[in-house]
Structure 1
Amino acid sequence: MSTVRESVEVGVPLRTAYDQWTQFTEFPKFMEGVDQVIQVDDRHNHWATSIAGVHREFDTEIVDQLPDERIAWRTTSGDVRQQGLVTFEPVDERHTRVNLAMVFEPSGMAEKAADMTGTLDRRVKGDLRRFKDFIERRGEAEGAWRGRISPG
């Protein structure tokens, strides 16, 4: 198992950053290698990715979601094994720190090589940088889901 931890400060209020992050179907606009995210229901998403020439599809489940604070998920099907947590911290009234931590198990030679060379760390860092650019350019979230999903 490997772990990636990255953070970025975005120039929008906490609620705006959090609300945009809940718009999972918009992830392909700023996440490299994410082709599509289909939101099945409040808790489940289906992902299609193309990374290093390898196409994968998998499902995720949100296991904990507290508005303006955190979203935690895990994979439930497919050949991708990961779990993660994104948290949101107010820096001041107009700035938010977004922290992302992921634990994953690389499968296949390409993913193992990408993990060993730090490519996956750089990809996550790039995704957060693109999220920053995306939300700062917009200045407001495209939508929001403010529901609570409790662990268990």
Structure 2
Amino acid sequence: MSASLVETVDIQAPVSVTWALWSDVTRWPSFLSHVRLVEPLDERRFAWQLSLPGADKNFVAELAEVIPEERIAWHTVEGVHHAGVVTFHHLSDTSSRVTLQIEYDPKGFVERLGALTNLDSALANYDLGEFQKLAETAASA
């Protein structure tokens, strides 16, 4: 059984800014609260370290699709099963919409509990809020 979540945030920053921040995977730990480290292995693969309540997880994810200023998709090739896509939508010259969609295999009690209580959704919401602050600060700089 796989679980999925979709979260969307509107940001007062142009797509060029939101894309530039998100496409630099080494910055993900600064706005994704459960991501401790993302380390490039080569052009397409990245080693992740996640810090979750009661469990630390490591996995290797591969970029499946990158369309500049439109979408970034990835899936794991080692470790915990997980796939995601982030899409960027132009709302106006000064605003954009970012949608995060993640599918994962809720193995183990902690993850199942999270999926059942919508903890994952709350976390994704919080992370997108952090990203929004980062992007809006960058856009106004």
Quickly name the TM-score band, shorter chain normalised.
over 0.9
Q: Which amino acid aligns with 1:66?
A: I
Which structure has the highest helix share of the two? 2
Q: Which amino acid aligns with 1:12?
A: A
Aligned partners of 2:29 and 2:121: how far apart in 1?
A: 18
Residue in structure 2 matched with residue 90 of structure 1 by the alignment: 90
State the Cα distance separating 1:113 from its structure 2 match.
0.6
Could you say if the C-alpha distance between residues 58 and 140 of structure 1 is closer, same or farther in structure 2, counting changes exceeding 3 Å?
farther
| Offset from partner CA, 1:9-59 (integer Å, 9 cap, x none) | 111111111111011111111111111110122211110011112111000
Q: Which amino acid aligns with 1:27?
A: W
Aligned partners of 2:73 and 2:140: how far apart in 1?
A: 23
Residue in structure 2 matched with residue 26 of structure 1 by the alignment: 27
Residue in structure 1 matched with residue 119 of structure 2 by the alignment: 119
Aligned residue for 2:123, secondary structure, equals helix
Aligned partners of 1:69 and 1:138: how far apart in 2?
A: 19
Aligned partners of 1:129 and 1:39: how far apart in 2?
A: 25
Could you say if the C-alpha distance between residues 82 and 46 of structure 1 is closer, same or farther in structure 2, counting changes exceeding 3 Å?
same
Aligned partners of 1:51 and 1:105: how far apart in 2?
A: 15
| Offset from partner CA, 1:93-128 (integer Å, 9 cap, x none) | 000100111111111111111111100111111111
Residue in structure 2 matched with residue 107 of structure 1 by the alignment: 107
Q: TM-score, normalised by structure 1?
A: 0.88
CA contact (8 A) 2:14 2:139 kept: no
Residue in structure 2 matched with residue 63 of structure 1 by the alignment: 64
Aligned residue for 1:31, secondary structure, equals coil
CA contact (8 A) 1:61 1:75 kept: yes
Q: Which runs of 5+ in 1 are unaligned?
A: 142-152
CA contact (8 A) 1:16 1:140 kept: no
Q: Percent identity?
A: 29
Q: Which amino acid aligns with 2:89?
A: E
State the Cα distance separating 1:140 from its structure 2 match.
7.5
Runs of 4 or more consecutive aligned structure 1 residues displaced over 4 Å after TM superposition = none
Q: Which runs of 5+ in 2 are unaligned?
A: none
Residue in structure 1 matched with residue 132 of structure 2 by the alignment: 132
Q: TM-score, normalised by structure 2?
A: 0.95
Aligned partners of 1:125 and 1:95: how far apart in 2?
A: 18
